[in-house]
């Protein structure tokens, strides 16, 4: 039996995609297990002391807030890793209301308690970011404008917060200093605007430049910038620049963006609005886990905090 070139390419691509998925999951698991190690250290001395090693239990995670669910995939990766069974009727991105059941978990009681605080932290934090993003994204979407995050993220948790932004309907923006060129004020202070753009263009990558004045905006375009970021500008100044440069470069508005004023800036119809508030001002969604033992107990179960 022989395969056509197309069939060989298709099979090869499938294996490539599968391999990439495994690599991503592996990186996620390394982070998740590192988070657990931070909490559990040399062992959970309370749980290991008071809970019999082979005791089984069931647990339910419920939300006490309304918002957008995120972090469910990370939670199930941890549950799978520790051979805990679970069921859920929800997916990341679902709208959840107070009292909704996020997950039902079954298995070894110790393992459930080892993971309890970590999975609640992940779900609460990521859902909070997704919820804040959803609010701003819906306001911007009316004008055909995208909302994006920034690098103002929790150290060590950036990929999860960026993912939560995407789940909430936003754009991640650059993941770090390594994947996009963004010339900021201190680069300009060090070598000058023209020189910074000239050197950046030599890389062959798209060049974004942060500007805070009309003069710098027009100079940046003249020197070859592909995108300009209007940083901390008032609405009137930003509007004048957008009207003159629309269609010539991509235009981003950033700095001082809030739930209260994002729609005012979106009406100017830049290409994108970025806001650190998606991560710095998002409130955690409150969730809890209630555990009940599956066999005879001295009481009717415990509400785990």
Predicted confidence (pLDDT) per residue in 184-194, tens digit: 999 999 999 99
Does one domain contain both 263 and 142? yes
Question: Distance between CA atoms of 251 and 228, rounded to whole angstroms?
Answer: 5
- Rounded to two decimals, the pTM is 0.87
Does one domain contain both 148 and 270? yes
Q: Could you tell me which residues come within 8 angstroms of residue 43 by beta carbon, excluding any fewer than 6 positions away?
A: none
Q: Is the pLDDT confidence value at 302 over 80?
A: no
In terms of Cβ atoms closer than 10 Å to its own Cβ (0-12, 13-18, 19+), residue 18 is: exposed
* CATH number of the domain bearing residue 78: 3.90.1170.20
E strand segments, the chain? 56-63, 67-68, 85-87, 95-96, 101-108, 146-148, 181-183, 207-211, 227-231, 250-254, 272-274, 287-293, 302-304
| Average pLDDT value for the chain | 89
Does one domain contain both 150 and 185? yes
Does one domain contain both 174 and 295? no
Number of domains in the chain: 2
Does one domain contain both 138 and 272? yes
Structural domain includes residue 3: no
Structural domain includes residue 156: yes
Structural domain including 155 reads 133-280
Q: Is the pLDDT confidence value at 9 over 50?
A: no
Q: Which two tokens stand for residue 249?
A: 């470069």
Query: What would the mean pLDDT of 164-180 be, rounded to a whole number?
Result: 93
Confidence bin at 298 (pLDDT 50/70/90): low
Give me the pLDDT at residue 59, please: 98
Query: What would the mean pLDDT of 37-60 be, rounded to a whole number?
Result: 94
């Amino acid at each position: 039996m022989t395969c056509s070139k197309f069939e060989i390419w298709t099979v090869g691509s499938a294996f490539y995609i599968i391999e990439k998925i495994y690599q991503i999951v592996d990186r996620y698991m390394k982070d998740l297990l590192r988070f657990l190690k931070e909490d559990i250290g040399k062992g959970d001395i309370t749980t290991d002391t008071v809970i019999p090693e082979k005791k089984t239990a069931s647990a339910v995670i419920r939300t006490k807030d309304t918002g957008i669910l995120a972090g469910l995939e990370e939670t199930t990766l941890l549950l799978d890793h520790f051979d805990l069974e679970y069921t859920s009727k929800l997916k990341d991105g679902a709208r959840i209301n107070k009292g909704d059941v996020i997950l039902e978990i079954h298995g070894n009681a110790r393992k459930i308690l080892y993971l309890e605080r970590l999975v609640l932290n992940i779900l609460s934090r990521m859902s909070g970011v997704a919820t804040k993003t959803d609010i701003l994204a819906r306001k911007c979407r009316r004008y055909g404008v995208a909302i994006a995050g920034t690098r103002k993220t929790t150290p060590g948790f950036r990929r999860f917060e960026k993912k939560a932004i995407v789940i909430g309907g936003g754009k991640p923006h650059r993941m770090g200093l390594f994947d996009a060129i963004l010339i900021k004020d201190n680069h300009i202070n060090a070598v000058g605007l023209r020189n910074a753009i000239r050197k950046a263009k030599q890389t062959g990558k798209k060049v974004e430049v942060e500007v805070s004045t009309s003069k710098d905006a027009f100079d940046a375009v003249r020197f070859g910038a592909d995108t300009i970021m209007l940083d901390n500008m008032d609405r009137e100044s930003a509007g004048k620049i957008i009207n003159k440069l629309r269609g010539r470069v991509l235009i981003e508005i950033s700095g001082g963006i809030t739930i209260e004023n994002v729609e005012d800036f979106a009406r100017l119809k830049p290409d994108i609005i970025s806001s650190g508030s998606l991560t710095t001002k998002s409130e955690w969604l409150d969730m809890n886990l209630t555990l009940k033992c599956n066999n005879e107990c001295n009481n009717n179960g415990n509400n785990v905090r």
